[in-house]
Amino acid sequence: MSRPRVLLAGRLMPELESALTAQFDCHFLVNETDPGSFLAAHGKEFRALVTTSKNGADAALMDALPNLKAITHFGVGYDTVDAGAAAKRGIGLSNTPDVLNDCVADVAMGLLIDAGRGLSASDRFVRRGDWLKGQFPLATRVSGKKLGIVGLGRIGQAIAKRAQGFDMDIRYHSRKPVAGTAFTHEPSLVALAQWCDFMIVIVSGGPATRHLISADVIRALGPQGFLVNVSRGSVVDEAALVDALVNRRIAGAGLDVFEDEPRVPQALMALDNLVLLPHLASGTRETRKAMGDLVLANLHSFFEQGRLVTPV
């Protein structure tokens, strides 16, 4: 029997690429010098597409794949996939939820502690030889402080669980209260920012949450407040955040994501009151393997049973 034909929008982990190419008849669209011409000639051959946040899948790509019935997304956030166009066409869409919760939550807490205590900044202080000239400035205590979580989904709840180990007082903001939690729901983001010492952002990306963390929210955090973003760069008004950090209108930040990745605003590079990471929250061998396994499971389930394992 011939293997099912699968289109890969971009490059993936070598291990996942090897497994995909061994189990399916795969073609890398990214390798085509003229993708449009290739799709015009061969687009009808593919029933499944594998993509990532970097590559996404817009309506035009779906239209170029007339027999497409399944999109398997490597990652939990699928804001670069036109989910509306997929639904209109009856194309199933899956992502890789749950398997990355712990690693993202670990990084969120790591950023919070690093930003508050100045761990990365103090490392640079030692490496520059500045310790020979004097003491590192006093930092901000983390234990027992007030934490506002924007988005109390699976990852948000994993963050809250870790924060409880630091005796933090926790409140959260979401579109509606989350059932089964004892944490206080705060309907106003500005009010949450005014209340908390640290704010962690972990909501989905896309038009609905663009600049959810607005200039007003950032202003409400105040000169003693810290912002941590492990969601999507688009969720934060980056220009307002840069201005607040440069002018010390907030105490600091921990950022794993940016609006125009991998380009980071140059104004942030010289600042010591923030931590910059290259979008690595889920970047462990264990988590990425589990994400890859889910992509494979979704494809096998689709071709063998006509359904996805983790539909969005």
Q: Which amino acids are annotated catalytic?
A: 232, 261, 279
The C-alpha R_g of the chain, in whole angstroms, comes to 22
The CA angle 8-9-14, to the nearest 5 degrees, is 60
Neighbours of 47 (CB within 10 A): 17
The residue with tokens 């807490």 is: 109
Q: Give the whole-angstrom CA distance, residue 79 versus residue 16.
A: 22
Query: From start to end of the chain, where are the E strands?
Result: 5-8, 25-28, 48-52, 70-74, 92-94, 146-150, 169-173, 184-185, 198-201, 226-229, 252-255, 274-276
Q: Give the whole-angstrom CA distance, residue 221 versus residue 194.
A: 5
